[in-house]
Amino acid sequence: PVTTVVVTADESPAEGGPPDHSYSLSSGTTSEELLRKLNEQRDIIALLEVKMKEMKGSIRRLRLAEAQLREEIREKDRLLHAASAGTRKRHGL
């Protein structure tokens, strides 16, 4: 006979109960512990918000640099095309 073990997202196969995650709390958690965890999470959120703003600024600067580089490429292509057309005219091509 084959034995099948089904484990859901809420259960740990070793213990048969909920997994131990940093966000899971035991039933004996005090209000001070809850407040400490809440403040830790708020600090993490604040740091992530700062990072997100920094990344948005970086993305904006990179997009501007990309646009400038694309314009430089277009200008150089125009110059090359014009020079190539001028060479053909001088050589009678």
Domain assignment present for residue 25? The answer is no
Residue 35 Cα distances to 21, 28, 76, angstroms? 17, 14, 61
26 backbone dihedrals φ, ψ, rounded to 5° = -75, 165
* Whole-number pLDDT of residue 18: 54
pLDDT band at 11 (very low <50, low <70, confident <90, very high): very low
Number of helices (H), then strands (E), in the chain: 1, 0
Tens of pLDDT, residues 65-88 = 999 999 999 999 999 999 888 776
29 contacts 22 by C-beta, under 8 angstroms? no
What total of structural domains would you count in the chain? Answer: 1
Tell me the chain's radius of gyration from C-alpha atoms.
31
SS3 50: helix
58 pLDDT above the threshold of 70? yes
Domain assignment present for residue 70? The answer is yes
Domain that holds residue 87: 31-92
pTM (predicted TM-score): 0.52
Domain assignment present for residue 55? The answer is yes
